[in-house]
Amino acid sequence: MSSYTSISPDKLFRLIGTVNAPALVDVRLDEDFAADPRLIPGAQRRSHLDVQVWAPTVTGRSVVVICHKGQKLSEGTAAWLRNSNVAAEVLEGGHLAWTQAELPTVPADRIPRRDERGRTVWVTRERPKIDRIACPWLIRRFVDPSAVFLFVASSEVGAVAERFGATAFDIENVFWSHRGEFCTFDVMVREFGLSTPPLERLATMVRAADTARLDLSPEAPGLLAASLGLSRIYDDDLEQLHAGCLLYDAFYRWCRDATKETHNWPTNKVKP
């Protein structure tokens, strides 16, 4: 039964991918993680043994703690976090309940190596328009909320990736890039195990706008227009990324919650 210190898988699933999503901390034992090396979208692995050390990194955020079955490890870790003034809940039934509900999980071996501060670092071409905004949005909302994105000259992406330990994306001859008719966003949705109906619909919109096949999605012309408009407003790529993430937040919520909703100007005129 739910309590004020726990959250159900279904309720957590509704929060993931939104701006109100809590920080997710996976404290499963190494042997449990080895038996199922997948993560709930956005979760980061931590040890329950040093919770007092890493607790300050989540201060000011709500946190959901995940262990194998939602018992002693998550309960104890969440209790320690609350002693550090962190609003912490336990995932009911743990990782096992999540997978039994057939909710999406991210293969851990698809997540790039993290830096010394626990962040994944990505690099791509400067002056992003569509794919290079959509992909960072997906990563921050569903893979690594703390991800860092570097936008550099096209000719320097590979060298920057090598010198700065970053993962290159949306350039030729790298893993995270276009494949056949699919754009990089499509590839990330599939490789990260995020093929839910809302994200698949959003992926079609991104592909249509990014590859000039606007017939694939009725919404694609709007996405293209908004994306190109943002690129004219912002000279700073990071400012554009911030604004673009708000755009994708809205499109994702439409894909998830509002595709059947219509709108018309109300009128009080009496029909003859």
pLDDT number for residue 3: 65
254 and 125 within one domain: yes
Mean pLDDT, the chain, rounded, equals: 95
In Å, the largest CA–CA distance within the chain is 75
pLDDT number for residue 266: 74
97 and 160 within one domain: no
pLDDT number for residue 263: 86
DSSP symbol at 111: S
Q: What are the start-end ranges of the H helices in the chain?
A: 9-15, 30-35, 51-54, 72-83, 94-100, 131-142, 157-164, 184-191, 197-210, 220-233, 237-253
pLDDT number for residue 95: 98
pLDDT number for residue 237: 98
101 and 38 within one domain: yes
- Per residue in 7-50, pLDDT tens? 999 999 999 999 999 999 999 999 999 999 999 999 999 999 99
115 and 84 within one domain: no
pLDDT number for residue 270: 62
CATH assignment at residue 53: 3.40.250.10
SS3 67: coil
Question: Low-confidence residues of the chain, pLDDT below 50?
Answer: 1
Residue 30 CA neighbour count, 13 Å, CB half: 2
The boundaries of the domain holding residue 35 are 6-106
Within-domain flag for 96: yes
Among 55, 81, 106, which residue terminates a domain?
106
pLDDT number for residue 268: 66
